[in-house]
């Protein structure tokens, strides 16, 4: 019996690439696709899946916010997060939000297939690096840098601020109010210990977050 997989990612080309990867796997079948959290939640309410393969960065509500909605709705479909964000930043928040596994998008195909089968079977999957990080943080030894402790939304907004985007443009891009963007900006500055957008850019350059 095939693993019925819901693929949630807002990049059409990436979804197409994964579909090609799974074509040669008789035990894995993509039976649903969604580009945003709302569509994904609707599919999960109407249709049975064995696994959700979820990106964190989505237009509108993030993948972590979708995980919270799944928990609130009592939907227990296992979730494997596949993200462009590094493990040291989002593996722990993803697991705390209810995901059963976390992989970066640059993982090898064989590892992705192994993770899908493991999580669909009810077990957790983390790389050795992610598992060590989660263990350290849970033991009170959090050595992550300040920007690695930002939430998904804060990280997205930080990147836009560093690019010089206005609060209005960021709000339009993320489909949230300017007031909400401003609130997130304040939290970002506080967490990174900087006092202005100029200092934020300098921090990002020093940390190698921008070229």
| Across 93-97, average pLDDT | 82
Residue 96 has pLDDT above 70, yes or no: yes
Closest of 137, 145, 159 to residue 91, by C-alpha: 137
134/73: higher pLDDT? 73
Assess whether the region 3-138 and the region 146-206 belong to the same CATH fold.
no
**Which CATH code of 1.10.260.40, 1.10.569.10, 1.10.10.10, 2.130.10.10 fits the domain covering 146-206?**
1.10.10.10
Residue 112 has pLDDT above 60, yes or no: yes
| Across 153-178, average pLDDT | 88
Residue 211 has pLDDT above 70, yes or no: no
> Phi and psi (nearest 5°) for 7?
-100, 120
Percent of the chain with pLDDT over 90: 55
Q: What is the 3-class SS of the chain, one letter each residue?
A: CCEEEEEECCCHHHHHHHHHHHCCCCCEEEEEEECCHHHHHHHHHHCCCCEEEECCCCCCCCHHHHHHHHHHHCCCCCEEEEECCCHHHHHHHHHHHCCCEEEECCCCHHHHHHHHHHHHCCCCEECHHHHHHHHHHHCCCCCCCHHHHCCHHHHHHHHHHHCCCCHHHHHHHHCCCHHHHHHHHHHHHHHHCCCCHHHHHHHHHHCCCCC
pTM of the model: 0.72
| Across 94-115, average pLDDT | 90
Residue 39 has pLDDT above 70, yes or no: yes
> Phi and psi (nearest 5°) for 168?
-65, -45
Domain borders along the chain are 3-138, 146-206
| Superfamily the domain 3-138 falls into | Response regulator (3.40.50.2300)
């Amino acid at each position: 019996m095939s693993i019925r997989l819901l693929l949630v990612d807002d990049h059409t080309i990436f979804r197409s690439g994964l579909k090609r990867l799974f074509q040669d796997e008789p035990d894995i079948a993509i039976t649903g696709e969604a580009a945003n959290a709302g569509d994904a939640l609707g599919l999960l309410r109407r249709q049975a899946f064995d696994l959700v393969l979820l990106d964190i960065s989505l237009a509108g509500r993030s993948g972590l916010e979708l995980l919270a909605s799944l928990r609130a709705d009592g939907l227990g479909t296992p979730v494997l997060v596949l993200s462009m964000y590094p493990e040291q930043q989002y593996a722990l928040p993803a697991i705390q939000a209810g995901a059963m596994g976390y992989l970066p998008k640059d993982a090898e195909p064989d590892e992705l297939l192994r993770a899908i089968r493991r999580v669909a079977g009810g077990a957790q999957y983390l790389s050795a690096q992610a598992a060590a990080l989660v263990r350290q943080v849970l033991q009170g030894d959090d050595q992550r840098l300040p920007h690695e402790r930002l939430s998904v939304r804060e990280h997205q907004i930080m990147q836009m601020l560093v690019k010089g985007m206005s609060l209005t443009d960021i709000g339009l891009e993320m489909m949230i109010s300017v007031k909400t963007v401003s609130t997130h900006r304040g939290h970002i500055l506080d967490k990174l210990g900087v006092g202005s957008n100029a200092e934020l850019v300098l921090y990002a350059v020093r940390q190698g977050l921008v070229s």
